[in-house]
Amino acid sequence: MRVLVAGAGATGGYFGGRLAQAGRDVTFLVRERRAARLASRGLRIRTPVGETRLTPQTIQSPAGAYDVVLVAVKSHALDTVTASLGPAIGGRTVIIPLLNGMRHLGTLTSAFGPEHVWGGLCMIHGTLDEHGDVVQMTGLHRLVFGPLDGGPDDRLDAVTTALTGAGFDSRASRHIVAEMWEKWVLLATLGAATTLMRGAIGAINAAPGGPEFLRALTAEVIAVATAAGHPPRPPARELLDATIASTEPTTSSMYRDLVAGLPVEADAIVGDLVTEAGRHGVPVPLLAAARANLAVYTDSRAT
């Protein structure tokens, strides 16, 4: 199976790199500067247990169809990458986005049709270092994917074979929309809390009023997801409760971006939940404050 990974950043570089390392036919769709960096340094992946260096196949525009396209760009790059993907999409191509939030499903489905777009999510604490090398900061590395309607799909077995057994946790799901919402709830809580408080979950829990703040924010996010028809199921609730109670320096990719002065996915991760809350009449003062905080940050970057 030919796999195209659009974006060779923290997530695309990690999961695409691991697939390539496992001998899968992987090509990265990258822009000029990233292509030059990958050509000179290779794709280096640093993990808590060691470092790998690969020589990745890269292209700057697709010239033919792929069987699987993993979309691994930030939400602000989605329109541009979507516009460039056309030639990569053949009759049976499956597009699996790794983006956080849900809005990208609409963008991809409008551009390519529902028959091509599956759901997907990844769990990793990843970043790029000053050399552009991929850094997996903890042992977490999970990929989940599946048809949006959960129904049978004659491409599922081949896609599953292509994306599993490559040195990270990976599985197909018949409930991918529920799993994406559950991940969104977790990530929005983490992202809103850490960016608003400018600190990790452990530091927030050590602050006076910090645990109460985290519990109140979590309750808001769960209330929105529940009103939208996607209440997190018990295992997701348990993970969320454990995450917000943590004393560890747990952060989110949005927090790491903010601290680095990079653009943040404010609308896709937090803003859309506030909009959803408004639609259902759910009061979300803390989430709204997190959205305002991110808007101030975004405006300050522009000036």
Ligand X SMILES: NC(=O)C1=CN([C@@H]2O[C@H](COP(=O)(O)OP(=O)(O)OC[C@H]3O[C@@H](n4cnc5c(N)ncnc54)[C@H](OP(=O)(O)O)[C@@H]3O)[C@@H](O)[C@H]2O)C=CC1
Enzyme catalytic residues: 183
* Closest residue to ligand X, based on beta-carbon distance: 9
- Among ligand KPL, ligand X, none, what binds residue 146 when CB lies within 5 to 8 Å by partner kind? none
Please report where in the chains the tokens 């030919």 appear, as a residue.
2
Q: Give the residues lining the site for ligand X (CB under 6 A).
A: 6-12, 29-31, 33-34, 72-75, 77, 80-81, 84, 98-100, 122, 124-128, 253, 265
To the nearest whole angstrom, how small is the minimum distance from the Cβ of residue 161 to ligand X?
Answer: 23
| Beta-sheet pairing, 57-59 with 50-54 | unpaired
Judged on CB neighbours under 10 Å (0-12, 13-18, 19+), 263 is: middle
Question: CA 91, 168, 59 angle in degrees (round to 5)?
Answer: 45
Give the integer Cα–Cα distance in Å for 51 and 45. 6
Min dist CB 140 to ligand X, Å, is 9
Pick from 88, 124, 163, 172 the residue near ligand KPL by CB under 6 A: 124
Nearest to 268 by CA among 242, 298, 303, 234: 298
For residues 45 and 124, which CB has a smaller minimum distance to ligand KPL in the complex?
A: 124
- Beta pairing class for 118-128 and 134-147: antiparallel
Which partner in ligand KPL, ligand X, none is near 11 (CB below 5 to 8 A by kind)? ligand X
For 263, phi and psi rounded to 5 degrees?
-60, 150
Neighbouring C-alpha atoms within 13 Å toward the C-beta of 25: 7
Q: Coil, helix or strand for 52?
A: strand
Q: Is 197 left (phi over 0), alpha (psi -120 to 50) or beta?
A: alpha
* Residue with the shortest CB distance to ligand KPL: 253
Q: Of the two residues 6 and 185, which places its CB atom closer to ligand KPL in the complex? A: 185
Verify binding: residue 123, ligand KPL, rule CB under 6 A: yes
Distances from the Cα of 159 to the Cα of 154, 165, 279, angstroms:
10, 12, 36
Pairing of strands 57-59, 25-29: parallel
Binding partner selected for residue 186 from ligand X, ligand KPL, none, CB under the kind-specific 5 to 8 Å limit: ligand KPL
Binding residues with ligand KPL: total (CB under 6 A):
9
Rounded to the nearest whole angstrom, what is the least distance from the CB of residue 287 to ligand KPL in the complex? 17
Helix (H) / strand (E) containing 265:
none
Q: Which of 100, 107, 136, 173 binds ligand KPL (CB under 6 A)?
A: 100
Stretch that binds ligand KPL, among 18-26, 148-156, 185-193, 285-293 (CB under 6 A): 185-193
Residue 271 binding: pick among ligand KPL, ligand X, none (C-beta 5-8 Å cut-off by kind): none
- Cβ proximity to ligand X: between 79 and 241 the closer is 79
187 binds ligand KPL (CB under 6 A): yes
Residue ranges in contact with ligand KPL by CB under 6 A: 100, 123-125, 186-187, 190, 252-253
